[in-house]
Amino acid sequence: MQLEAEPHGGTLVVHVNESRIDAAVAIRFKDLMRDLTAPPADRVVLDLSLVEFLDSSGLGAVVAVMKSLSPEKRLELAALTPNVARVFRLTRMDGVFRIHETLDSALCEGARDAG
Amino acid sequence: MLAERKTEKVQIQRMLQRAEPRIFHYQFVADPLSVRYALRAAMARFLRQMTETEAGTLELILAEVLNNIVEHGYENSGEGSITLSIVRDRRGMNCAVSDDGTALPLECLLHSESEGAGGHVRPDPGKLPEGGFGWFLIRDLAEELGYRRENGHNLLAFRLPLEPA
C-alpha cells in the first residue's frame, strides 16, 4: 500500500497512491496512517483522488483513522471520485467528514484559517 | 461444401462471441486478495455493458457479499472456496454466490431502520461506526435478494437492475 505524507503549513496531506481501499488493505491502511500522521499537525487531509474503489471495510478504516487522530488532529477528505463519494453518501457518512471537492480547495481553506 | 462448412463455423463462432460476455463463472479461495482478483475479472468481463455508475454499484455489492463470506462464513480462515456466477440479461446482472461456510444469519436479509424491529440496526453515522454497513449496502442496492441453505451450502442470489441500453 502506497501512502505519501506531505506537510503544508499546519496541514498534513496524505496522498493515497492506490486505486483501492478495500478489505485486502484496510488493516494496513490504518497502520500506515498511524505512522504517517505521527508528526504534529492541526489537521490531516486525505487526498483520495486516485482511489476508484472503497468498500465498507475501507470506509471503516477511514472512520477508525479519524477517531484515532481526534481530538488533536482533524481528518478531512479531498477529491473523492464518484464511486467513493457514493459509498459515503449511501452510508450517510458524508455528513460526518469535512469533504473538499479538490485538494487545492482543502489547502486554500487551511491557509485562510491560519491567516 | 467446404466453403459452406466454413461459413457455418464462422457463424457459430460469432454466436459464441456474442453469448460469451453475458456469462461469468469463477471459483476461488476465500481470502481478501482472491476476492479482489475475482472482482477485477468480473468487472473486466462486463465493463462495456454497463454505465460507470452501474459498474461501481455492482462491484460494491459483490465486494460486500464476498468479503462477508471470507470474514464471517469462513471466519477469516483463508480456507474454503467461493463460486461466483453472473448472467447478464435484459433485466440486469443476475448474480449467484455459493460457499460452504457457516449459515448466513437470517437477520442479515431483513430490512430494519430501528432497534427492536428485528434484523440489524442501520449504523448511526453520529456514533462513528467502523463496520456494520455491508448488509445495508447490499440490501439498498440489490434487488430480488434471496438466500437458501442446502446440505451445508449457502446460495445467495440477487440482481442489479440495469438501465435499458
> Is B137 part of the contact surface with chain A (CB cutoff 8 Å)?
yes
Residue B86 has a pLDDT of 97
The pLDDT value given to residue A115 = 45
Separation of alpha carbons B66 and B60, rounded Å: 10
SS3 A14: strand
Complex ipTM = 0.92
- What's the pLDDT at A37? 95
pLDDT digits (tens, 9 = 90+) for A18-42: 999 999 999 999 999 999 999 989 9
Torsion of CA B115, B104, A52, A24, to 10 degrees: 110
pLDDT mean over B19-32: 88
pLDDT score at B164: 81
Whole-model pTM: value is 0.89
- Contact (CB, 8 A) for A76 and A44: yes
Q: Please, which pLDDT band fits residue A113 given cuts at 50, 70 and 90?
A: low
Cβ–Cβ contact B46 with A under 8 A: no
Q: Residue B84: enclosing H or E segment and its boundaries?
A: strand B81-89
Task: Tell me the CA end-to-end span of chain A in Å, nearest whole number.
Answer: 35
Say yes or no for a CB contact (<8 Å) between A63 and B130.
yes
The helix (H) or strand (E) run that includes residue A106 is helix A103-114
CB contact under 8 A, B67 and A90: no
Mean per-residue pLDDT for B145-155?
A: 96
In this prediction, residues B54-72 reach a mean pLDDT of 97
Question: Is the predicted pLDDT of residue B53 greater than 90, yes or no?
Answer: yes
CA dihedral defined by B69, B37, B45, B155, rounded to 10 degrees?
-10
Confidence of residue B160 (pLDDT cuts 50, 70, 90): very high
Q: Specify whether the CB–CB gap between B95 and B123 falls below 8 A.
A: no
Separation in Å, CA of A12 to nearest CA in chain B: 22
Whole-angstrom CA distances from B145 to B14, B29, B65 are 34, 24, 11
Model pLDDT for residues B74-88, shown as the tens digit of each residue = 999 999 999 999 999
